Amino acid sequence: MNRIYKKAIVTLAIAGLTANAYSADASTPDDPLRTTTLRLIELLVEQGVLTREKADALIREANRPVAASPAPASSAQGSVAPAPGSSTTTPGTGTIRVPYIPEFVREDLKNEIRQELVAQAQQDGWAPPNSIPDWVRTMKWEGDLRVRFEHDGFASGNAPFVNIVATNSNRALTLLNTTDSTERERVLARAGFTVNLDNETSAGFRLATGSASDPLSENQTLGSYETRYQVALDRAYIKFQPYEWIAGTLGRFANPLVSTDLVWAPDLSFDGVLLKLTPNFGSETRPFLTAMASPVQEIDVATHNKYLYSTQVGVDQDLGSGTRGKLALGYYRYTGIEGVLSPPGTSIDEYTAPLFAQKGNTYYDISSNPNSPLLGLASSFHELDLTGSIDSVVSGPYHAILTADYVKNLGFNQAAVSERVGTPVSPETTGYLLRVLFGKPELKLRDDWQVFLTYKRVERDSVLDAFTDPDFHLGGTDAKGYVVGASYGLAKNTWATVRYFSTDAISGPPLSIDTLQFDIYTHF
């Protein structure tokens, strides 16, 4: 490219000199500027930069007499610009010359630069014009990374608790640690992209750390003798949006529901099909409807598959004076979720045991072999959930946000549950959450901050323990307590968060857990 640049500079310089030679001041044969110009033209011919024919054309142009131009007229609208290659004289300033580049010089320079660019592109492997598909240009990458220190403190008087997943996997009674305090360092990493295939169709894909058998958390605990972390497919979906107010999604996608961690873990994704309606009636009231069908567990016999059917309606309302309100009513119905006791001497119903669970729900042994326990859920779960929030600007960028959530399990049948367990079981089927946050709603810049306080009570069979928050009470239900914390921006899209959980069992065996988490989080 240097050769072309040098040629361009030389050619432009000659054009400037030629313009000077064309002026009235260079009309005599002995003019030094004219002599210099002609000598430069001859040198360029000798170097092969100009052909003899083009050089002669330049010389003929230089020998052409130039007619005197009258001074440009001026008016209230401005002055008239001189023609290229001419000269004008302004009183007190002398002659002003306007450079002129001959057309063949400009065309020659343009062609040579184009040829040089094509050669350079072939040599360096540049992408040809229009060779990159439009969907690649619309691809958007994003990800996040979190490093956490966590301390879990257990009271010395805690009772033993059954580890549901380990017991079902080992077919032997296995207990959780409920008495020995622990400390651990953890890391979370996620990266994915979304791409617009056209005006109506998009797709998304995300990878994340964490265990493939844990649907709630992408945490990877450090200290595995320096072995590499596991990475799993966390999201993969196709989205169709023929109109602004309607969208359908297929695959595995982020939680589309207005919700809190009372019912759903913050990092939970859903499988299945999703329909979302957000009509716009031209006002500050924005209603919405979400409908979702999610396969929870696929069984070889299709009639025994476990499903979650979710419907939510709500409204997002501008309340004026920098305040917005949101209210949503959801109904989440599980089918085939209850454990079914296998007849003596068989194992035909053992597939009804859950693939994943935490703790808190009412379980019973569905195995026909007392020496090989298998725990299944004793209750059905048809959850009615009412969620609301008010977000109000307090001062400048600082907001006060109040969130409330109430849930009731309408599927609990006391008689059926008591019969399965073999002892009377009282209905504990409600839960609620209250949370207040003050500060920046989102932490994007250095020195952004927020503080928050949450109180939560989630009774034993109010929600399915498999999908609720894994941090509060270290997961599950039959828990009450509070969370207090603060976040502070360290840099752009990077912040630190400290949270303290203090929780206790509601009605089951005693279990008190105090958890401290310190996070460094960055989003990109």
Q: What is the pLDDT along the chain (524 residues), one digit of tens a residue?
A: 455 544 554 555 455 555 554 444 444 555 666 676 677 777 777 777 667 777 777 777 666 655 554 544 444 444 444 554 455 554 444 555 555 566 766 777 778 787 887 777 777 767 666 666 776 778 899 999 999 999 999 999 999 999 999 999 999 999 999 999 999 999 999 999 999 988 899 999 999 999 888 999 999 999 989 899 989 999 999 999 999 999 999 999 999 999 999 999 999 999 999 999 999 887 889 999 999 999 999 887 666 899 999 999 999 999 999 999 999 999 999 999 999 998 888 888 888 999 999 999 999 999 999 899 999 999 999 999 999 999 999 999 999 999 999 999 999 999 999 999 999 999 999 999 999 999 999 999 999 999 999 999 999 999 999 999 999 999 999 999 999 999 999 999 999 999 999 999 999 899 999 999 999 999 99
Q: Tell me which residue has tokens 């011919």.
A: 45
Angle at 265 between CA 436 and CA 356, to 5 degrees: 155
Tokens of 84: 């290229």
| CB-based contact 359:397 (threshold 8 Å) | no
Strand, coil or helix: what is 37?
helix
110 CA to centre of own chain: 45
- Domains of the chain are 2-124 (no CATH), 135-523 (2.40.160.10)
Q: What is the 3-state secondary structure (H, E, C) of 171-235?
A: CCCCECCCCCCEEEEEEEEEEEEEEECCCCEEEEEEEEECCCCCCCCCCEECCCCCCCCCEEEEE
Give the closest residue to 332 by CA, choosing from 217, 431, 463, 214.
463
CA distances from 11 to 16, 31, 38, 269 (A): 9, 21, 13, 64
Confidence (pTM): 0.77
Strand, coil or helix: what is 476?
coil
Type of residue numbered 389: S
Q: What is the 3-state secondary structure (H, E, C) of 284-324?
A: CEEEEEEEEEEEEECCCCHHHCEEEEEEEEEEEEEEECCEE
CA distances from 341 to 188, 299, 306, 357 (A): 39, 16, 16, 18
Size of the chain, expressed as the number of residues it contains: 524
- Burial of residue 79 (CB within 10 Å: 0-12, 13-18, 19+) is exposed
Number of continuous H segments (helices) and E segments (strands) in the chain: 7, 23
